């Protein structure tokens, strides 16, 4: 069983793709709706909330926890992998994030390769990255893309309130206004130059991809993070099949957990994923404020 973690509903954009791609694999999803959004929270708090979420998934039987969240990945993935997991008593378990596969797709370079390779070293595209405050201020996308493609210009744009507005079921008009504002601010940064590609670097944003599509120039290609993550997980599991565990129930299980209100979250999830199974409430620890 594979665990998928997000601060809220955003990781469902990834889970939905994974559930489609891997019809025989069981998944356990955890949305930390009690604490969403993470994007403007202090880094140490994001690390701690993510650690609890990952541990809850391990306790449910997942051996691999995929952070279906750019903010958690950008801020917490490395710290959990290096500082927590080795001494946490979870031998045979792992945490992986979604920044690495996205950078691989954006640079057409494997993550393990950290120096510019031909022909990508001559790539001089303009790449736009939209994300939460914490993802963008971490600088991880710019840094990791430019390591591999030093001539690529990476323009980052914080969309501080978009994930929260999506969680709060803001009106289409309000969401449209926030996306428009983000795209205009980005184009102002590029001084009118049109991005070749755009990374929607927050898993909530595919829920308003049509609005990004409407405001971005038609020539800008939007990289689909759920698709990229599914490709990458397929490759990862072929190299590390032990993370799937030994027993595969038929039909496979999709377990949906939330730290929020199960009925409310189930109703909201069904709006964009009608086949989503109902959520159950899980109490991890006291709500962090």
93 within 8 A of 63, measured Cβ to Cβ:
yes
Q: Is the dihedral of CA 31, 204, 26, 270 positive or negative?
A: positive
CB of 153 to ligand DGL, least distance (A): 23
User: Which of 50, 138, 203, 232 is the binder for ligand DGL (CB under 6 A)?
Assistant: 203
Query: What whole-number distance in Å separates Cα of residue 288 and Cα of residue 34?
Result: 8
Phi, then psi, of 27 in degrees rounded to 5: -125, 150
User: Which of 93, 161, 204, 268 is the binder for ligand DGL (CB under 6 A)?
Assistant: 204
Among the listed residues 28, 149, 159, 202, the single catalytic one is 202
Site for ligand DGL in 93-152 (CB under 6 A): 132, 135
User: Which of 29, 38, 58, 236 is the binder for ligand DGL (CB under 6 A)?
Assistant: 38
Strands (E), 97-228: 126-131, 153-158, 197-200, 221-223
- Closest among 193, 203, 250 to 224, alpha carbons compared: 203
User: Which of 5, 6, 55, 183 is the binder for ligand DGL (CB under 6 A)?
Assistant: 6
CA angle 73, 261, 18 (to 5 degrees): 45
Query: What whole-number distance in Å separates Cα of residue 257 and Cα of residue 172?
Result: 27
Q: Which is nearer to ligand DGL, 37 or 182 (CB)?
A: 37
Among the listed residues 28, 69, 149, 159, the single catalytic one is 69
CB of 46 to ligand DGL, least distance (A): 9
Angle between helix 140-148 and helix 99-107 axes, rounded to 10 deg: 40
Q: Which is nearer to ligand DGL, 1 or 136 (CB)?
A: 136
User: Which of 1, 5, 7, 127 is the binder for ligand DGL (CB under 6 A)?
Assistant: 7
Does 70 contact ligand DGL by CB under 6 A? yes
Q: Is the dihedral of CA 277, 282, 288, 289 positive or negative?
A: positive
Query: What whole-number distance in Å separates Cα of residue 181 and Cα of residue 169?
Result: 18
Q: How many CB atoms lie within 10 A of CB 217?
A: 12
Does 49 contact ligand DGL by CB under 6 A? no
Does 37 contact ligand DGL by CB under 6 A? yes
- Closest among 140, 139, 185 to 159, alpha carbons compared: 185
Does 259 contact ligand DGL by CB under 6 A? no
Stretch that binds ligand DGL, among 64-72, 110-118, 212-220, 246-254 (CB under 6 A): 64-72
Stretch that binds ligand DGL, among 66-74, 146-154, 173-181, 278-286 (CB under 6 A): 66-74
Query: What whole-number distance in Å separates Cα of residue 67 and Cα of residue 232?
Result: 13
Q: Which is nearer to ligand DGL, 41 or 148 (CB)?
A: 41
Is 202 considered catalytic here? yes
Stretch that binds ligand DGL, among 31-39, 150-158, 235-243, 277-285 (CB under 6 A): 31-39
Site for ligand DGL in 147-176 (CB under 6 A): 163
Indicate the DSSP class of residue 197: E
* Active centre residues (catalytic): 69, 202
Which positions lie near ligand DGL, rule CB under 6 A?
6-8, 10, 36-39, 69-71, 132, 135, 163, 202-204
């Amino acid at each position: 069983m594979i665990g998928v973690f997000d601060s809220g509903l955003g990781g469902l954009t990834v889970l939905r793709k994974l559930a489609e791609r891997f019809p025989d694999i069981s998944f356990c999803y955890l949305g930390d709706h009690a604490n969403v959004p993470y994007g403007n929270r202090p880094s140490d708090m994001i690390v701690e909330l993510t650690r609890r979420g990952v541990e809850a998934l391990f306790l449910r039987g997942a051996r691999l926890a995929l952070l279906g969240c750019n903010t958690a990945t950008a801020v917490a993935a490395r710290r959990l992998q290096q500082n927590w997991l080795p001494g946490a008593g979870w031998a045979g378990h792992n945490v992986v994030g979604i920044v690495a596969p996205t950078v691989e797709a954006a640079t057409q370079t494997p993550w393990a390769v950290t120096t510019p390779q031909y022909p990508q070293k001559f790539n001089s595209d303009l790449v736009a990255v939209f994300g939460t405050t914490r993802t963008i201020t971490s600088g991880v996308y710019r840094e990791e893309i430019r390591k591999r493609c030093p001539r690529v210009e990476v323009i980052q744009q914080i969309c501080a309130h978009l994930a929260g507005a999506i969680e709060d079921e803001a009106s289409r008009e309000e969401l449209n206004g926030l996306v428009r504002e983000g795209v205009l601010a980005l184009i102002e940064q590029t001084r009118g130059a049109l991005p070749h590609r755009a990374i929607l670097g927050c898993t909530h944003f595919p829920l308003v991809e049509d609005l990004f599509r409407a405001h971005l120039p038609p020539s800008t290609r939007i990289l689909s993070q759920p698709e990229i993550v599914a490709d990458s997980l397929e490759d990862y599991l072929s190299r590390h099949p032990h993370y799937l565990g030994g027993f595969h129930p038929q039909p496979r299980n999709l377990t949906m957990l939330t730290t929020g209100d199960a009925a409310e979250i189930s109703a909201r999830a069904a709006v964009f994923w009608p086949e989503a199974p109902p959520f159950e409430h899980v109490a991890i620890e006291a709500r962090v404020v």
